Chain A
Amino acid sequence: MEHLSLASPAGIVLSLDAVLILLLALACLGSKLFDRYLTYYGLQSMLLAVAAGTAAYVEREPALWVLAGLTLVLKGVAIPEAARRLLVRRLQLKRDVVTIVGPSTSLILGAILAGFAYLVIGPQHLAQGLISASIIPISTAVILIGALAMVLRRHMVAQLLGWLIMENGVFLGGITLTASFPFIVEAGIFFDVVACFLIMLAMTTGLAESLVALSDRGRREPT
């Protein structure tokens, strides 16, 4: 994968895919409805599964097919669906109002961060004509946008989604660039992510049930 050319069919698919993933991250940042966050995240994870599938096809690596399948089923369907049923519907969440800035400002900040990712990575310094020059800056931008969503949003569910987007950004870089990454490690990371999601889910529910304001903004530090 490291030597995959940008102009090959697989390279074109991957680049397109990565751009769509970036756009979905931005869409998430610009939206205010919880239901939509989850839809965007699910779509983004499916695109990630496509990227993993492409990598598996190019590398002819059966383990990567497994990873693509897991991504599709767990991240694309199970996690968004679980979050929708257990959080959004049960807690009757509709609009995310506890944000520091509005959606349009968030989008501008996100765009600036995407530009910043290109500035930091400097694709012009990377080997020209290879897939890495297009993927590394995009996955960095997705990580930064996810982090931005976590910082700007005070609602726990929104923070959770921000983290999941960050994780997708890391996986995009991980799967496509380092397809030779040992499978045991990939799988371990994957299950850590799932476990972390489950813990966050349990805590969100626990906190909501103890009738605390879901925002931690008004929380004062005990001295």
Chain B
Amino acid sequence: MLKIPVSHSSRVPAVSTAALPDIVFMLLFFFMTVTTVKEQSLKIENTLPVATEIKKLERRDLVIDIHVGAPLSPYAETFGNEPQIQLNGKFARVSDVGPYILEKRASVPEHLRALITISLKVDQKARMGLVQDIKEVLREVHALKVNYTTYSAERPQSTP
């Protein structure tokens, strides 16, 4: 009669972890492709308004951001509680917007300059006066494509 050899060792064999690096690399590549690097840290409150009829901003490299909002508490002492403009991580005045746009536009290849979009990331509590002033400056420097960046209505509480 054939005897099946029975192992008397009660130890469970170790699970092979050889495939673990592959799994982790897969995750890594996933995150590398779907995310973008944070460009700047915000020094202002920036809760965007909510809208439903929105269009996605394509071509991140052709988008210039202008943030507007009330300064966060560490900066409120110096800059006050009224909404301020933040350009490229620094507080700025309305008169700084024009030179900033021109400087950014100069770094874009000429045939793509017409496609540049200005993304206005304005806090919902800011006042229209400041936004109107920014829009006047944008008209002066012929940056006419603007996008009032908002959250989509499906996920109103998402963070920027």
Asked if A pairs with B, the answer is no
